[in-house]
Amino acid sequence: MPDIRCIGICTGGGDAPGLNAVIRAAVKAAILKYKWKVIGISDGFDGLIWPEKSRELTLKDVSGILPRGGTILGTTNRGNPFHYKMVENGQEVTRDISDQVIANALKLGIDAVITIGGDGSQKIALDLFQKGMNIVGVPKTIDNDLSATEVTFGFDTALHTATDAVDKIHTTAESHHRIMVVEVMGRDAGWIALEAGIAGGAHVILIPEIQFTVENICKYVTEREGYGKRFTIVVVAEGIQLPPELKENRRAGSVGNLVGDAIALRAHKEVRVSVLGHIQRGGSPTPFDRILATRFGVAAVDLIAAGGFGKMVCLQQERIRAVDIAQAVGRLKTVDPQGEIVRAARAIGICFGD
Ligand code: F6P
């Protein structure tokens, strides 16, 4: 068993509800179960580039943070120490400062690091592990697209927020007899759109995994009108593949607006668009996310105690396990277009635009 006296914790990439719950659980388990000291590393790995930004975390520091969104440590999605962007002589240059990061961790007395992050942060963790750092990962993302774990914390909270939005859109859509488009996050995976669409009773769901056409959506709107339904709710994932006629405008605005405008033009209907954006990343984590985050935080500390470096905790068949980070990164988990959940949605008449 490794001789551990002090661990560091950092949060990297986009924030997700439940990060503070992981930090709290890890700090409590480290102090209460193992009597270790804990250092909070600020703003991703920036706290190891500038070690003066890092600070000790005591039980008092994590008191009351369980229901809080965001991360008390701060985060960044730009601080890869292997490709660090800096300005030298007025020029932006990219440098590998990973040696400095490892040296600073040692200087701070850190024996092992817990890195809480998505695919990008876990890749950095893997590279640092391969350079000799004792590191374990905790998966995080509202997109739920990490293949090694059945669920990531943050997803359930984002799903609740998106579902609540679709519920609210319902009444106004029905009152005004409108087509309402709701754009949700999820990067290249359609999980938030698919599940919020089903949970919120949407009529059309557009996801990156299924190619749609505007014509098919309009046909479906007309069919609905045929049986007296004068409103339609369309949930759009931000990562959808746009049909060729809309592709060139992708940069001009959100995909929700592009799809909404195209439907309005073709169907001659009134369309309104809501882009949910970062509210999906905020707010208090749901009980599910708080519990999963707590289990992950404790498991990460236990993994360090057992010397399981280079591994990431995960949820498989409802049990907390650990996988090699090398096996966990670079393989995104996307929606299976032929899978049971899509088939269930189709069976209740939901249109995917294909
Ligand atoms: O990965 C989480 C996520 O919220 C994605 O759903 C979204 O595409 C992206 O991050 C947004 O990132 P940023 O906060 O940098 O705009």
Q: Is the CB of 14 under 6 A from ligand 1?
A: yes
Average pLDDT over residues 63-82: 95
Average pLDDT for the chain: 96
DSSP 30-63: IIIIH--EEEEPPTTTHHHHSGGG-EE--TGGGT
Tell me: pLDDT of 248 over 80: no
Tell me: pLDDT of 203 over 90: yes
The predicted pLDDT at position 271 comes to: 97
What are the pLDDT digits (tens) for 79-107?
Answer: 899 999 989 999 999 999 999 999 999 99
Which of the four pLDDT bands, split at 50, 70 and 90, describes residue 245?
Answer: confident
Tell me: pLDDT of 252 over 70: no
Domain locations in the chain as residue ranges: 6-153+285-328, 159-281
Average pLDDT over residues 30-47: 97
Ligand 1 pocket: which of 119, 142, 144, 238 to mutate (most atoms within 8 A of CB): 142
Judge: domain 6-153+285-328, CATH 2.40.50.140.
no
Q: How far is the centre of ligand 1, averaged over its atoms, from the C-alpha of 229 (Å)?
A: 35
Which of the four pLDDT bands, split at 50, 70 and 90, describes residue 29?
Answer: very high
Strand order from edge to edge, sheet including 135-139: 55-56, 37-40, 6-11, 112-117, 135-139, 311-316, 319-324
Q: How far is the centre of ligand 1, averaged over its atoms, from the C-alpha of 133 (Å)?
A: 28
CA distance 220 to 222: 5
**Which residue of the set 15, 46, 143, 289 is catalytic?**
143
Q: Is the CB of 77 under 6 A from ligand 1?
A: yes
What are the pLDDT digits (tens) for 100-156?
Answer: 999 999 999 999 999 999 999 999 999 999 999 999 999 999 999 999 999 999 999
What are the pLDDT digits (tens) for 165-195?
Answer: 999 999 999 999 999 999 999 999 999 999 9
Q: How far is the centre of ligand 1, averaged over its atoms, from the C-alpha of 78 (Å)?
A: 12
How buried is residue 46: exposed, middle or buried, by Cβ count under 10 Å (0-12/13-18/19+)?
buried
The predicted pLDDT at position 97 comes to: 94
Average pLDDT over residues 232-259: 89
Q: Which residue has the higher pLDDT, 248 or 212?
A: 212
Tell me: pLDDT of 253 over 80: no
pTM: 0.96
CA distance 293 to 306: 20
Question: Is residue 263 a contact partner of residue 181, using CB atoms and an 8 Å limit?
Answer: yes
Average pLDDT over residues 204-217: 98
Measured N-to-C along each axis, helices 119-130 and 98-107 cross at an angle, to the nearest 10 degrees, of 80
The predicted pLDDT at position 77 comes to: 85
Fold of the domain spanning 159-281? Rossmann fold (3.40.50)
Q: Is the CB of 189 under 6 A from ligand 1?
A: no
Alpha helices in the chain (DSSP H): 19-28, 34, 46-49, 98-107, 119-130, 155-176, 191-199, 214-226, 244-247, 255-267, 287-305, 325-328, 340-347
Domains 6-153+285-328 and 159-281 share a fold: yes
Average pLDDT over residues 252-273: 92
Active site residue 143: yes
Question: Is residue 75 a contact partner of residue 37, using CB atoms and an 8 Å limit?
Answer: no
CA distance 205 to 237: 8
Question: Is residue 320 a contact partner of residue 295, using CB atoms and an 8 Å limit?
Answer: yes
Q: How, if at all, do strands 84-88 and 91-95 pair?
A: antiparallel
Distance between terminal CA atoms of the chain? 55
Which of the four pLDDT bands, split at 50, 70 and 90, describes residue 247?
Answer: confident
User: What is the distance, to the nearest Å, from the Cα of residue 223 to the centroid of all Cα atoms in its chain?
Assistant: 36
Q: How far is the centre of ligand 1, averaged over its atoms, from the C-alpha of 8 (Å)?
A: 25
Q: What percent of the chain clears pLDDT 90, i.e. is strictly above it?
A: 94
Which residue lies with its CA nearest to atom 14 of ligand 1? 14
Please give the DSSP secondary-structure letter assigned to residue 102. Answer: H
What are the pLDDT digits (tens) for 280-333?
Answer: 999 999 999 999 999 999 999 999 999 999 999 999 999 999 999 999 998 899
